[in-house]
Structure 1
Amino acid sequence: MSDRNTQQRHRTLWFWVFVGPFALGLGVFTYIPLLWSVYLSFFDAHNTVTPDPARDFVGFDNYAQMLNDSAFTDSLLTFVVFSLFIVPATFALSLALALMVNRLRRAQAFFRSVFFLPAACSYVVAALIWKMSIFNGVRFGLANTLLGYVDADSVAWLSTTDPPWHWLVIVTVRLWLQAGFFMILFLAGLQRINPQLYEAAAVDGAKPGWQVFRHITFPQLRATSVAVTLLLVINAFQAFDEFYNLLADSRGYPPYARPPLVYLYYTALGQGQNLGLGSAGAVILAVLIAVVTIGQARWFGLGRKDA
C-alpha cells in the first residue's frame, strides 16, 4: 500500500514538474492580464494601469461610451465584411486542397508540406511582402506589372476605396497564410472516413466525383467542418497584423477597413491612452466572440451524440 502511495506521489510530482511552468506562465501572462483588463474597464484609466479606486471609478460609463461610439460599431461592421469574404473562401480552398492531396498516391507528404508552409510565416512578413512586392501602389508591383502587359492602368490597391481594392489585398494574404493549416484539419477528417463507405457506394451505382462527395465525403466531414468554421470566425474577429501592416503608414491608419483590434489599439495606446475605454471595448469584443462561438456551436449541434 505504501509503495502504491509512493508511486502516486511520484506521478503527481512529475506532473507538476512538467505542467507547472506552463500553468504558471499561462496564469501570469494570460489570465491575470485578462482579469486586470476587466478591472480597468470600470475606471477612468488615462495613461495608467493602476487607477485610484476612490477617484477614478466610473462604473459602466466606459461600456456605454464604447457602444455609442460610431467608430467602434463601424469596426464591428468591418469585421462582418471581412468574415463574409475570408471564412467561405478559406473553407472552400482548404477543403479543395485537402481533397486533392488526399487523392495523391505519390509525393503526398511533399505537397502537404508545401501547402502548409505558409502557415509558419509571420503575418507581419507576409503583409509586407503583399504591400511592397505584389500589390505595391506604383507600377513596380507584381500586380500592376501584370496589368501593364494588357495595357491597363496601374491601381493604388491599398488607398483606393471606390472600388475597395484593399479588400482584395487583405483577403488574399490571410487566405495564403491560413489555408494550409485548415487543409491539415480536413486531411485528418478525410483519412478517418471508412473506405468501405466508398466501396458500398460504388456497388450501389454512385458516380465518382460530385455525387460521392455530396452524399458521403462531405457528410462524414461534418464535425471537422464545424470546427473549421468556428476557428475561422474566431480568427477573423482577432484580425490585426495584416490590417495594420498593410494600411497603416507614417500618417496613421486610414478611416476605412478598421477592424475592432486596430480601433482598440489606437484607443488604448494612441495619443489619449485611454486604457479604461480600451479595456471596455476588449471585454465587449470578447463577450461578442463568446456569444457568436456558442451560437454557432449550438446551431451546428456541436457536442451532440448524433453529431
Structure 2
Amino acid sequence: MTVGGSGGAVAEHPPPSRTPAVPDAGRRRPLGARLLGPQRRNLWFWAFVGPFALGLGLFTYVPLAWSVYLSFFDAHNTVSPSGSDFVGLGNYTAMVTNEAFLGSLGTFALFTVFIVPATYALSLGLALMVNRLRIAQAFFRSVFFLPTACSYVVAAVIWKLSIFNGVRFGLANTVLGWFGADGTAWLSTTDPPWYWLVIVTVRLWLQAGFYMILFLAGLQRISPQLYEAAAVDGARPGWQTFRYVTFPQLRATSVAVVLLLVINAFQAFDEFYNLLSDARGYPPYARPPLVYLYYTALGRDQNLGLGSAGAVILALIIALATVVQARWFGLGRKEE
C-alpha cells in the first residue's frame, strides 16, 4: 500500500500472484493408474467395454491383419507360411488379371443394380404407408421388420425348397399352373436368367423392413410446420408434398441407406451359396466375390494366400466405393 501525502489517494497493489505448484515432470503415473483414471472412475468403463474390446481385437482385427500378411505369401494349405514362400505382390497381380475374379465383380455390379434401387423404393414405400397409419401402426411396423430377424440361410432354404422348387413343385410354379403357364426351373435357367428373381426377392424380403425403420425415423423427424407451410403455398397433398417437402428432408437418411445397401451387396454370400449350390457344387454363373474367394481359399487347392489377396482387394474396393459415395452425396457436409 502506498500513501501519497495527507490528502492523497491511497493506491493499493494486488498481492503478488502465486504460481501453482507444478508436479515433478519426471514422475509419471503408472499405466494402470492412468487407465483407471482419477479415483478409479474408469473402472466400470473397462469392466463393461474391456471384454468386448478384447473379443473384437482377438476375433476381428488379428484375423484381418493376418489375412493381409498371408496375401504376400504362397500359402497353400497353411496359415503359417515360411519366408521362402514370400511372393510379394504376386497374389495381387494374379487376382486383378484373373477373369473369374473380375467376373465375380461383374456379378456384384449386376446384383447392386437390381437390389439397391428395389430395396430403396420398397422400404421407402413401406415407411410412407406405415407412417400414415393412425391405428395398429406398431403392429404393421413389427410385421414388416420381423423378417430382419430371420437367418439368411433359413430364408434361402425356404425360397429354394418351398417357393421356387424345381419345375413341377413350389409355390411359384403352382401359381403359374393356375393360369395355364408351364413351370420354370428357376435356379438353373440361364436364358433368361430367372435365378436373379429368386436371389433379389429373398434379399428384398430379408432387408426391406430394416431400412423401412430407418426411413420411419427420418419421417418422424420432419416438422409438421413444413407441411402446413407447403399447404399455405398451394402444394397439393400427395406427390407435390412428397417431392418438395418429404423427399428433400429425407436426404441424410437416403444417403445412409444407399451406403449401407451397397456395402451389404458387396458382402452377399449366404443367399447365393445356399440357393445355387447343390451336391454337384456351385454353378459357373452368378458367383459374387465372396463365393469366388470362398472356393479359392477353402476349395480343392486351398490357396489361402491368393484368397487373402482377393479379400484385401475387395475390402479396398468397398472402402473406395464408400468414400466416393460419401463425397458424391456430401455426407458430413454442413448444410447451408
Same fold by TM (over 0.5)? yes
After superposition, the Cα gap between the structure-2 partners of 1:104 and 1:8, relative to the gap in structure 1 and judged at 3 Å, is farther
CA distance in 2, matches of 1:299, 1:202: 32
- Aligned partner of 1:270 in structure 2 is 299
Offset at residue 299 of structure 1 (A):
0.3
State the Cα distance separating 1:13 from its structure 2 match.
Answer: 0.7
Q: Which amino acid aligns with 2:219?
A: L
Query: How many residues end up aligned between the 2 structures?
Result: 302
- % same residue: 79
CA offset at residue 8 of structure 1?
Answer: 4.1
* 1:220-277 residue CA offsets vs partner (Å, 9 max, x unmatched): 0000000000000000000000000000011110000000000000000000000000
Q: 2:49 aligns with which of 8, 12, 19?
A: 19
Whole-angstrom CA distance in 2 between matches of 1:30 and 1:209: 47
CA separation in 1, counterparts of 2:184 and 2:149?
A: 30
| 1:10 and 2:40 are equivalent in the alignment | yes
Following superposition, the deviation at residue 7 of structure 1 comes to: 8.3
Does 1:292 pair with 2:321?
yes
Of 231, 241, 244, which residue of structure 2 is paired with 1:215? Answer: 244
Report the equivalent of 2:188. Answer: 159
Runs of 4+ in 1 over 3 A off after TM superposition: 5-10
Q: Match of 1:231?
A: 260
Which structure: larger Rg?
Answer: 2
The CA deviation string for residues 60-82 of structure 1, in whole angstroms up to 9 with x for no partner, is 00000011110000000000000
| TM-score, normalised relative to structure 2 | 0.88
Partner in structure 2 of residue 71 of structure 1: 100
Q: What's 2:230 paired with?
A: 201
CA offset at residue 11 of structure 1? 2.6
The aligned counterpart of 2:67 is: 37
SS of 2:180 mapped into structure 1? coil
Unaligned runs of at least 5 residues, structure 1: none
Q: Which structure has more helix as a fraction of its residues?
A: 1
Bigger relative contact order, structure 1 or 2 (CA pairs below 8 A, ≥6 apart): 1
Deviation sequence 1:36-68 (CA, Å, 0-9, x none):
000000000000000002x10000000000111
Distance 1:29 1:109 in 2: 37
Does 137-146 or 210-219 show the bigger shift? Answer: 137-146
Root-mean-square deviation (CA, aligned residues, Å) is 1.2
Q: What aligned pairs does 1:237-276 form with structure 2 within 5 A after superposition?
A: 237-276=266-305
- Cα distance in 2 between the residues matched to 1:118 and 1:253: 26
Measure, in 2, the Cα distance between the counterparts of 1:96 and 1:149.
Answer: 30
Distance 2:40 2:124 in 1: 46
- TM-score, normalised to structure 1, is 0.97
The unaligned stretches of length 5 or more in structure 2 are 1-33
Cα distance in structure 2, aligned partners of 1:194 and 1:152: 51
1:125-147: CA deviation from partner (whole Å, max 9, x where unpaired): 00000000000113120000011
Task: Tell me what 1:177 maps to.
Answer: 206
Amino acid at match of 2:238: G
